[in-house]
Amino acid sequence: MGFISGVVMGLVVGVVIMAGWSRVMQRRSRKRVAKAADIKVLGSLGREDLKKLCGDNFPEWISFPQYEQVKWLNKHLSKLWPFVSQAATAVVKESVEPLLDDYRPPGIKSLKFNKFSLGNVSPKIEGIRIQNLQPGQIIMDIDFRWGGDPSIILAVDARVASLPIQLKDLQVFTVVRVVFQLSEEIPCISAVVVALLAEPEPKIQYTLKAVGGSLTAIPGLSDMIDDTVNSIVNDMLQWPHRLVVPLGVNVDTSELELKPEGKLSVTVVKATSLKNKELIGKSDPYVTLYVRPMFKVKTKVIDDNLNPEWNETFELIVEDKETQSVIFEVYDEDNLQQDKRLGVAKLAVNNIVPQTPSEITLKLMQSVDSLKIKDYRDRGSLHLKSCIIHLPRKNNWKPWSRKRKQ
């Protein structure tokens, strides 16, 4: 849920700020300058290329070798962690509580932090690679690991019960992509873009414990929390989504932000052979669909029908057709308890033929994450008609493009 994303976000922003800070310090350090002169190349990056990027005043840190930099960064990271942790705690709490509300599942009335602290164990950077080089940018992929001791307690207020939930044994393994947008003025960086790479997929593990009660007091709570965590990580942090942090005033970051790339129109026609989840009567299905969970849309509910026909058309915004998918979730509406999920399906936007209406049938599964599927029982199928409509050319946006220097 929001706090996980917040924790990751806090850590990432902390690390990035620290990396920036450290580099400023580094510029001032004679020892470092002396070392910099010894080092001839920086892995795959040529000095000449870097000089071309930044003119004559290219920053010295560019020429530090990757491994040395990592060791050095970790040393500073653990020294600075108490301060980073304290600062990030405040920022995360303030910025994430509203998000908790946005991503709150329908069965939960309110979600707030009872307690939030990032703990004493600093994250570790296993390696930094300079993966790619675009004019005006340096792209760094940071192999990030954190098995911390945060203290996070959430106040969960659900329809059926209220209880504090503690999050324990948090572990984060991910590759963080940091893009430094270079500028001519010192400190040579005008903005930083941060995202978690989708490949390898970020691993965020934790256990949940109800404080002074049982998790089962709120049926389906663990699943709801897992879903919310995934939604927030996917929707806010995982590539193509990103955080854009301008460094300095009057920095135009509009080219770095994720922008709509196309509009997808999908008609949810019908579902067939859904499995009944009711003890009396039949399930009452509806479908929610989204590219980003923040912008979910929903069909009407059809009562007591395992072969419902909706024939409803939706328009969804696509921001990155190469990586985004449409997620379809079929639910059984229940008035007294949490709606039950009858199945989910995923359609990669990339698989839809542009400008050509097509009919698509998707098999409903237990989860869109194949690792989480525990049973492969037949859940029925979802039938769609879809086509993609591109936005006008002027709105097309190329990732990481930037005007070249004259």
Q: Give the footprint of Ca ion on this chain (CB under 5 A).
A: 281, 284, 304, 332, 334
CA distances from residue 173 to 33, 88, 208 in whole angstroms, order as listed:
33, 19, 18
Give, in order, the Cα–Cα distances in Å from 223 to each of 207, 229, 341.
Answer: 12, 10, 11
From the CB of 303, what's the least distance to Ca ion, in Å? 6
CB of 301 to Ca ion, least distance (A): 9
**Residue 14 or 285 with smaller CB distance to Ca ion:** 285
Q: How far is the CB of 222 from Ca ion (least distance, A)?
A: 22
Question: Is 319 or 332 the residue whose CB approaches Ca ion more closely?
Answer: 332
Strand partners, 327: 290, 346
Give the CA distances from residue 343 to residues 183, 273, 280, 365, 366, in Å, rounded to whole numbers and listed in that order.
Answer: 49, 11, 20, 5, 5
Task: Report the distance separating Cα 342 and Cα 277, nearest Å.
Answer: 8
Residue 195 three-state SS:
strand
Q: Which is nearer to Ca ion, 224 or 342 (CB)?
A: 342
CB of 284 to Ca ion, least distance (A): 4
The closest alpha carbon to 116, from 151, 88, 85, 147, belongs to: 151
Q: Which is nearer to Ca ion, 194 or 342 (CB)?
A: 342
Task: Write down the least CB distance from residue 304 to Ca ion, Å.
Answer: 5
Least distance CB 340 / Ca ion (angstroms) = 7
- Which of residues 117 and 305 has its CB atom nearest to Ca ion in the complex? 305
297 strand-pairing partners: 289
Q: Which is nearer to Ca ion, 235 or 332 (CB)?
A: 332
Relative to beta strand 162-182, strand 151-158 is: antiparallel
C-alpha to C-alpha distance for 204 and 11, rounded to whole angstroms: 13
- Report how far residue 241's alpha carbon sits from residue 25's, in angstroms, rounded to the nearest whole number: 31
